[in-house]
Each structure stands twice: as C-alpha cells, then as structure tokens.
Amino acid sequence: MAGEELRSLADRAVAEIGAAVDEAALEAARVRYLGRKDGALTEATKRIGSLPAAEKPAYGAAVNEAKRRIEAAVEERSGALRTATVARELAGEHVDATLPPRRVRLGRLHPVTQTMRDVSRIFATLGFETVEGPEIEWDYYAFEALNIPAGHPAREKWQTLWISNPLGDDPARPMLGRPHTSPMQVRVMEQRKPPIRVVIPGRCYRYEATDAIRESIFFQYEGLAIDEKLTMSDLKGTLYAFARQVFGSDRKIRFRVDYFPFTEPSAEIAFDCFACEGKDPHCRVCGGDGWIEAAGCGMVHPDVLRRVGYDPKRYQGFAFGGGLERLAMLRTGAPDIRLFYQNDLRFLEQF
C-alpha cells in the first residue's frame, strides 16, 4: 500500500467516524480501522517490516499520519456525541430555578421532655440535684418502706402493674412498674447522708384507664429534702418558688390537707384551672372544680426516716411528687394528656 492509498484509507475512516450516529457505531468504526487484531491500519503497520529499507521511512511516516488523523477523528466524534447526549438529557429535565428551596426540618424536644428539663433547672436554682432511679421496682421500695405494707388500704391509690420477676419469681419479693417516684426517696436516703436535696423525674406505671388527665404510663417528678430543722414552711416556700418560676405570679396555688402513709402531715397541691379558670361547671380539664391537683407533698414520716437509719429527732424533711404531664398541660394549655403520646406532629410542632 503506497502513501496515496493510506491517505484515502484515512479519508474514508474520518468520514465514517464523523458519521457515526452513536457511541456503538463509533466504536465499530474505530475497531474497523484501529482494532488491534485486524484493523485496516494495524494491517498496514505490520507490512512495514517486509518493505525494502529505502521505502520504510516514507511508508512509516504515512502510516503514522493516517493513524493520527483517525485517532483525532475518534476523539472529536466521541466528544460531540457526549455533548449531544448531555444536551438531550438536559432538554428532558425541567429545572425551575424559581422554585422555593426545600425546607430543612429541624427536630425539637418533646413538650414533656422540655418540661422535665425545666423542672430540673428550676429546682437546681433552689439547690436540688437531679437524680434518676429504676422504673421496675421492688414492692419494698414502692410500698413497704413507705409505710404501706401488703393489705394496707392505701395501696388502692396506686393501681399497680405487677410484673413477673426476671430474677425468678420470688413471692416474697414481688416486682412492679413503679406507680410513683416516691421509692426513690428511700433509695436516696439509703445511699446518702443528710443534708439531702434531690429532685427525681421519671416514668411511672399504673393499671388505669386513660382519660383527659390520666395515662397508664406517665412521668412524675419527686422532690426530697432532709436536714436539721426543716419545717412545713420550707416545703411551702420551696413549692411557691417553683410554681412562680414555672407559671409566673398569676397562677394560684392551693394547699389542702391530704393523706399519704409516708408523710405526716400531708398536703395536696392544686393549681387553678388554666382551661376554664373556674368558670365552666362542665370543664373537661378540672371537671368544674376550678382546681387541678398537681402534686402531693408532706413532711417525711418519722417511721420512714427510722427505717433508713436516720434519727427523726435530729433530722426532718419534706417530700413532694407530682405529674410532669400535668405541668406540661398547664404550661402549654393542652386540654388532654393523651395528645402528648399520639405523636401527631401538628400538635408536637407547636412547642
């Protein structure tokens, strides 16, 4: 093959390559001319060896020139096809630069968690440390150590969810989902020496039907202070200070005599009804009473102190315990406790 023939071979190749309609056609053309096995140009290259020495340089140069042109044509066509593909894809896509950006949705704390943290923070300003304790509890801490032995009528106040003991059912040591956080009073006193000032938020369980103000799984916060010379006025002052920080000075608080086996004297704390302010005799929240019971409290019973080895002549203390969701309801105005646990974002996103 002379130089002339190589030129026309290259012309044909460049034309075919330029006409390739897609990547596959281009690749077929490339193989036809540059393919290692029997591409036309590869064949021509092989012949160099059999030529007389005088012809080799000119022929070699012609082969190289043909190869360069064909390779350049492949490169160019390949680029053109890629550009066309991208252009086609872009034409199929509709980019609307005027659309508003997608909103980043930030999470937030659940209103009950917010309330729990606020309770801890407020009591911290009054010198109370936050501690936590077990949700699954021994009968001893939930009742016995709190002056509520088996068969005591007061047990009916805490509708109990008994559970089978994971350590092996021992009828002498029944276990339960704690129906209140008061067992932690005993555990803390067992572990520490006075002075004590702790607040204990935590989940509680009761075997109860739910309604607008009751859930069978709910949160309480418990407070305990033990020191020399503590009196009922320390209890009242502490709870007034707390209520003022939570609700501002507008909300009214009522202390009324109550009964708990583990405090003496005992009192019930109620806040005036945020929903009807005492004006609706059929109010779903307060039942027309105008007051919402928010917490129980009292001076720690001497027998409870004695049981943990404290001398009641030297040490006195006060304790209180209330429902966290009720606080959350008072703060948010939510009329039904069940709203907190339905996981409806339309509700939760408001807080």
Cβ distance to ligand PHE smaller for residue 185 or 332: 185
Q: Which stretch binds ligand PHE (CB under 6 A): 12-20, 36-44, 147-155, 293-301?
A: 293-301
Rounded Cα distance, 233 and 230, in Å:
8
Distance CA 268, CA 84 (A): 81
Cα 81 from chain centre? 50
Q: Is 320 in the site for ligand PHE (CB under 6 A)?
A: yes
- Only one of the segments 11-19, 133-141, 238-246, 294-302 lies at the binding site for ligand PHE (rule: CB under 6 A); that segment is 294-302
Largest CA distance in the chain: 126
Q: Which of residues 237-266 bind ligand PHE (CB under 6 A)?
A: 260, 263
In the complex, least distance from residue 292 CB atom to ligand PHE, rounded to whole angstroms:
14
Site for ligand PHE contains 321 (CB under 6 A): yes
Angle at 139 between CA 269 and CA 123, to 5 degrees: 35
Peptide bond into 195 cis (omega under 30): yes
Among residues 259 and 351, whose Cβ is nearest to ligand PHE?
259
Q: Shortest Cβ contact with ligand PHE: which residue?
A: 321
Q: Does 298 participate in binding ligand PHE (rule CB under 6 A)?
A: yes
Residue 173 C-beta: closest distance to ligand PHE, Å: 21
Per CB under 6 A, the list member of 115, 147, 160, 182 interacting with ligand PHE is 182
Distance CA 89, CA 95 (A): 12
Q: Is 127 left (phi over 0), alpha (psi -120 to 50) or beta?
A: left
Q: Which is nearer to ligand PHE, 189 or 319 (CB)?
A: 319
By C-beta, is 14 or 142 nearer to ligand PHE? 142
Size of the site for ligand PHE (CB under 6 A): 11
Integer-rounded Cα Rg, in Å, for the chain is: 42
Amino acid code (one letter) for 220 = Q
The total of other beta-carbon atoms located within 10 Å of residue 311's CB is 9
* Only segment of 76-84, 99-107, 239-247, 295-303 that touches ligand PHE (CB under 6 A): 295-303
Nearer to ligand PHE, 67 or 206 (CB): 206
The interface mask with ligand PHE, positions 205-234, x = CB under 6 A, is -----------------x------------
Provide the phi-psi class of 258: left if phi over 0, else alpha when psi is between -120 and 50, else beta: beta
Rule CB under 6 A: choose which of 188, 319, 324, 334 binds ligand PHE: 319
The runs of H, that is alpha helices, within 218-289 are 232-247
Residues 6+ apart with CB under 8 A from 2: 59, 62
CA distance 246 to 119: 8
Counting contacts by CB under 6 A, is residue 296 touching ligand PHE? yes
What's the min distance (Å) between Cβ of 140 and ligand PHE? 16
Contacting positions for ligand PHE (CB under 6 A): 180, 182, 222, 260, 263, 296-298, 319-321
